[in-house]
Amino acid sequence: MKAVLFDLDGTLLPTAFEDLIPEYLGMLGTYLGRWGDPRWLAQEIMQATDAMIRGSDGRKVNLDTFADHFFASTGLDRSMWQEFDRFYEEEFPKLGAKATQNPRARQVVETAFASGWKVVIATNPLFPARAIHERMQWAGVADFPYDWITTGENMHYCKPHPEYYLEVAGRIGVEPEHCLMVGDDPAQDGPAAAAGMQLLLLNGDVSLAHAAHILAGRD
């Protein structure tokens, strides 16, 4: 193995973002409220997110796929995009009050770096970099020199597509068979195996502490 990919939600970050979606959509819809009814905006945001997850032909980064679908569907002016940016700077961090930390998360990342691996934050790239870095801060792992962090601006595919994992491998210059994906969700992280990667799924028997032992070569 030469590289390890860490999922965020449910892996390094105990609080799955799925649990925060209702509050997140409420905050975002309200913030953008001058453009339309907040409930309508939230619905359109989810539909554009679904379009992003379904995937592209690999020619557009994820946030461009989101924006193209959102603005075509709503008919709103693209100048609104600047308000999305401001939301992630001004309001999104407030969701961190709902998040919890696992001290083992920092330990396992430190172990990966100390063992000489290339290290990637392989979260589903549905958000801009600002929001993903914020969530990394919630997890207590934002200050490491990662080889790659998957964001909406730098990825062309989302989980659960195997192409997402192949793109990560290409970005860090490591063949998939020399990569280990550490995650918790068989549906989202499991397709790493279809891309040719090794897979470590956390569950009741496999914890972050166990993962740290594996990365250190002690298991």
Q: What is the pLDDT of residues 38-64, one digit of tens each?
A: 999 999 999 999 999 997 678 899 999
CATH node for 3-16+101-215: 3.40.50.1000
pLDDT reading at 106 higher than 60: yes
Domain ranges of the chain: 3-16+101-215, 18-97
Query: Does residue 67 carry a pLDDT above 90?
Result: yes
Is residue 28 over pLDDT 60? yes
114-165: per-residue pLDDT in tens?
Answer: 999 999 999 999 999 999 999 999 999 999 999 999 999 999 999 999 999 9
What is the pLDDT, as a whole number, of residue 81?
A: 95
What pLDDT sits at residue 218? Answer: 58
DSSP the chain: --EEEE-TBTTTBSS-GGGGHHHHHHHHHHHTGGGS-HHHHHHHHHHHHHHHHH---SSS-HHHHHHHHHHHHH---GGGHHHHHHHHHHTGGGGGGG----HHHHHHHHHHHHTT-EEEE-----S-HHHHHHHHHHHT-TTS--SEE--TTT-S--TT-HHHHHHHHHHHT--GGGEEEEES-HHHHTHHHHTT-EEEE--SS--HHHHHHHHTT--
